[in-house]
Amino acid sequence: MLKKIKCPACQTEGTTSLVELDYIGPYRCWKCRALFTVEIKNDELVSYKALSEDELKKQLQLKELQEKYKKDSQ
């Protein structure tokens, strides 16, 4: 499913693919390259927060670790 997200920095609409209606995660504007953590509930953008490259890296690393742990524990 593709969800339209309006960039809070430059108001450009972009899309991100969502697996579920609820989503919290990183979004990068294709136009101004701004990074945000967005929260979507029931298909609505309810909040966003600026995200730095470092924070994004940390989040992705954490996710990788969690997925690795899940695989190992199965």
For Zn ion, give the closer residue by CB, 29 or 38. Answer: 29
For Zn ion, give the closer residue by CB, 11 or 61. Answer: 11
For position 9 contacting Zn ion by CB under 5 A, the verdict is yes
Work out how close the CB of 13 gets to Zn ion at its nearest, in angstroms, rounded to a whole number. Answer: 9
Q: In angstroms, rounded to a whole number, what is the distance separating the alpha carbons of residues 70 and 52?
A: 27
Question: Which H or E run contains 45?
Answer: strand 44-50
For Zn ion, give the closer residue by CB, 29 or 40. Answer: 29
Q: Return phi, psi of residue 19, to 5°.
A: -85, -35
The two tokens of residue 19 are 């697996």
For position 45 contacting Zn ion by CB under 5 A, the verdict is no
